[in-house]
Structures are given as C-alpha cells and as structure tokens.
Amino acid sequence: MTFEAMWRDLHPVGRSASSGGYNRSPWTSAESELRAWFTEAALARGLELETDGMGNQVGWWRPATPEAPGLPGVLTGSHLDSVLDGGAYDGPLGVVSALAAVDVLRARGFSPSRPIGVSVFTEEEGSRFGLACLGSRLVTGASAWADARERQDRDGVYLGDAVADAGLDPSTGLLSLDDVGCFVELHVEQGRDLVDRDVAVGVASEIWPHGRYRFDFSGEANHAGTTRMEDRRDPMLTYAMTALAANKQARLAGQRATFGRLEVAPNGTNAVPSRVTAWLDARCSSDAGLAELVDAISRQGSERASRDGTQLSVTAESVSGSVVFDPDLARDLAGIGGWPIIPTQAGHDAGILSAAGIPTAMLFVRNPTGVSHSPAEFAEMADCLAGVEALADTLAKLAS
Ligand code: HGY
Ligand code: MN
Ligand code: MN
C-alpha cells in the first residue's frame, strides 16, 4: 500500500467536521482505531508486531539470514495521538513514513543485516493526562507506572481506568528497548526553518528544554454588580496580569511562554470567580533559562496576588530537560542528502529515548506555513515522499 493510500486511510480518523482538526486523545475510540490500523499495516508487511500493556507498538523486520545474530536493531517511528483539534501530520507522518520506508527498501531489494523496527508510542502529546511523552517515558523508565496511573484527565478519569477501558493491561508489561541500537524519528517540521532555507528535509540538532506548570489562583467569589472594585479578591485579575508578565518575560529573554488552557470556577457571567486554574507551557534554549523564566513569572504572579488579596500556587506537571542529539549521528545522516541540521522547540519521543542513552536522530519534513498544533498544519505530498526516501536512505545506512 503506497504512502498516499495509507495517508488516505488515516485522513478521516478523529477528524472534526467543523474545524478539520484532529482529536485523537490516547485510549479513546479514535486512537484505538489508529492502533488497529497500525496493527493491520504492520502485519500486512509481515512485521513481528508487539503491542504492550499501554498500547505502545513496535513491528520488527528481522534479517532473513542474520550474518551476526543479536545485532541491536534500528528503530524508527513516532506517535498517532494528537493535541486537541490538532493537525494531520504531527505524529502520523513519522509512522506512515516509517512503514513506507520499509516498502521502499524492500522495493530496492535491500535486506537489512540488523533488525529494523517501526514504533508507535502512545500519549506523546500529554494532552489527556498532562505528562508529555507518557508512553515513551514509561517504556524507558523515565516515569513509573505506579505514579502515572494516578493521573486524572479533565473529566477525572484515572489513567489506570482509561487504559483498562481501552482493553489494555499494563501488568502485561511494556515494550523493551534493550535490543535497540538507535532510534530515528521523522516528523513534520513545527516551524519555518526548512521553508526559509528552501529545503525539504532537515536533521535535528537539539530539543529545547520545556515544561508545563499549573497556576492555581484563588480568591473570593462575589457578586459582579454589588461588589465594589476595591473590595474584590479577584483571581481572574491576578491571572490576567500574570499572563501579561509571562508574555513580557519571554519576549525579553528571547524564549517562549504560553497560557493556552484555562479553567474558571464557577465560570459564571455575573460573579467574581473563586478560582482560576491556568496552565503555562514554557520553553527555553537552556535548562537554566527555563528555571529562570518560570521563576520570574511565578514571582511576578505572587507579587500581583498579594496586591489583589488572592493566592497563587504553582505546580510543575511535566518537565523535559534539554536534549542534544548525538552530533556524530546527526552529521552522518545530514551527509546523506546534504540536509541542514536545525534545532527544535517541540518535544518528541526521540528526546526521551535520547535521554535514556539510545543514540537518536530526527528527520524533519518541510511544513510550508510552519504552523502546527492546528488544523492548518500541512506538508506537500512531494515533500512527504522526499521524507520517505530520506528515511529509507537513513535506515539503509544504519541497518547495513
Ligand atoms: O508539545 C510539544 O512540544 C510536542 O508537540 N509534543
Ligand atoms: Mn509530535
Ligand atoms: Mn505535537
């Protein structure tokens, strides 16, 4: 089945008729449909498929006659879950391209001397349970199931129950990466570097450190009309000033800060709220910079809270440290096609595997607008196919 045919298969799954965006939260029907699709696509290629207790998957193409049995394998893949109302490419492009690259290698008559695995890690976005790259963190041991299972989604559903409801059982164990010698993730670029360079493919040099922090603002519920302005303890005001401070601090430091998610209680039109919960996504070019930025925003929020008679508490919910990919591997792969080596501010499972000590690389495919985490996310078919060829060349080099 060609890349285009696989892409057509995935197009409608979890797609909103109104926005054209994708809602493929992990352990929901849409993502379960994608897991079934991947299972079928892997088995149709004769890959030796493993689905672990969380729904992480890997399909292995093993050498017919291993010259040196037991050589560590080359793993490639990405994720199928999406952010809320996300784009079509973030994640699935890496999975479909990996399957298509196996097809290309077979069509070329290539036979690997070490195993080639195609993987899918679940809850990469952390959009349901708040921890980025949850699937790969559990597989690498960066996070423990005993802790993770207590996480709740926005509806109060526990992770443990969500996984069980999807027909999975974590007690059956997780994927093992012991036989993985290196990992390559192909991903749509979430930025404009390749566009500005007018090239279709790039190689990642690093992932900026980034984190997600819950800001709990509490005040005093009261009447929107009868309560004088000077008598209020309004958490919405403190939140608003904190959001302004975050934007200013990030601009001054040349970093990134976003409040993209908000919950207000009781969320009434004619009442001063009692509580506002806001989630900050912060990203910086260094670990120290990230700590400084979050500290500065938290400090200014607390100072504002004391002026407003409100309270603020800040809780780190997901932190991903700086990742510098194996420079020799990056240079090696970039040499295949003369591809540029560029940084990214987006987190990826590749970052988790790299942090776990697995030599890791990323290939980026040009995104004409650079827009991501949006229905507008896009990549030209010609660039997607160039990415497949680049991944096939990469796998041929690594698995020879
Ligand atoms: O949020 C991120 O950085 C990634 O897209 N999961
Ligand atoms: Mn992604
Ligand atoms: Mn993403």
Q: Which of 320, 350, 385 is the last residue of a domain?
A: 320
Tell me: do 331 and 301 sit in the same domain.
Answer: no
Residue closest to 365 by CA, chosen among 225, 211, 191, 200: 200
pLDDT at 1: 85
Tell me which ligand sits closest to the C-alpha of residue 79: 2
Q: Is the CB of 132 under 6 A from ligand 1?
A: yes
Tell me: do 227 and 350 sit in the same domain.
Answer: no
For residue 280, the cross-strand partners are 213, 259
For residue 203, the cross-strand partners are 341, 363
Residue closest to 74 by CA, chosen among 104, 113, 117, 103: 117
Tell me: do 277 and 383 sit in the same domain.
Answer: no
User: pLDDT tens for residues 102-125?
Assistant: 999 999 999 999 999 999 999 999
- Domain span holding position 111: 3-207+322-398
pLDDT at 64: 80
Tell me: do 241 and 374 sit in the same domain.
Answer: no
Alpha carbon of 303 to ligand 2 centroid (Å): 36
pLDDT at position 66 over 90: no
DSSP 149: T
Tell me: do 188 and 245 sit in the same domain.
Answer: no
Residue pair 170/386 in contact by the 8 Å Cβ criterion: no
pLDDT at 70: 80
For residue 218, the cross-strand partners are 275, 311
pLDDT at 183: 98
Q: How many domains does the chain have?
A: 2
Residues 6+ apart with CB under 8 A from 143: 131, 134, 137
Tell me: do 89 and 120 sit in the same domain.
Answer: yes
Q: Helix or strand or coil: residue 236?
A: helix
CATH of the domain at 243: 3.30.70.360
* Burial profile 162-194: b = 16 or more Cβ within 10 angstroms, e = fewer: bbeebebebeeebbebeebbbbbbbbbbbbebb
pLDDT band of 215, cuts 50, 70, 90: very high
pLDDT at position 96 over 90: yes
Q: Which of 320, 348, 379 is the last residue of a domain?
A: 320
Tell me: do 192 and 99 sit in the same domain.
Answer: yes
pLDDT at position 134 over 80: yes
Tell me: do 130 and 229 sit in the same domain.
Answer: no
pLDDT at 67: 66
Report the C-alpha gap between 10 and 42 in whole angstroms.
15
Of 79, 83, 345, which is best to mutate to test ligand 1, by the most ligand atoms within 8 angstroms of its C-beta?
83
Tell me: do 188 and 326 sit in the same domain.
Answer: yes
Portion of the chain with pLDDT greater than 90, in percent: 97
pLDDT at position 223 over 90: yes
pLDDT at position 306 over 70: yes
Of 25, 212, 319, 348, which is best to mutate to test ligand 1, by the most ligand atoms within 8 angstroms of its C-beta?
348
Tell me phi and psi for residue 103, to 5 degrees.
-60, -40
Residue 130 vs residue 69, higher pLDDT:
130
Q: Helix or strand or coil: residue 322?
A: coil
- Please count the helices (runs of H) and the strands (runs of E) in the chain: 12, 15
Q: Which of 320, 354, 381 is the last residue of a domain?
A: 320
Q: Helix or strand or coil: residue 230?
A: helix
Of 24, 352, 373, 377, which is best to mutate to test ligand 1, by the most ligand atoms within 8 angstroms of its C-beta?
373
Taking the alpha carbons at both ends of the chain, their separation in whole angstroms is 25
Q: Is the CB of 83 under 6 A from ligand 1?
A: no
Tell me: do 285 and 171 sit in the same domain.
Answer: no
CATH of the domain at 80: 3.40.630.10
Alpha carbon of 347 to ligand 2 centroid (Å): 7
Mean pLDDT of 384-394: 98
pLDDT at 370: 97
User: pLDDT tens for residues 1-10?
Assistant: 899 999 999 9
pLDDT at 210: 98
CB atoms within 10 A of CB 37: 18
pLDDT at 269: 98
pLDDT at 39: 98
pLDDT at position 65 over 90: no
Residue pair 391/363 in contact by the 8 Å Cβ criterion: yes
Tell me: do 335 and 316 sit in the same domain.
Answer: no
Mean pLDDT computed over every residue of the chain: 97
Tell me which ligand sits closest to the C-alpha of residue 133: 1
Q: Is the CB of 125 under 6 A from ligand 1?
A: yes
Place of tokens 């403190």: 238
User: pLDDT tens for residues 30-46?
Assistant: 999 999 999 999 999 99
pLDDT at position 68 over 90: no
Q: Is the CB of 347 under 6 A from ligand 1?
A: yes
Tell me: do 218 and 361 sit in the same domain.
Answer: no
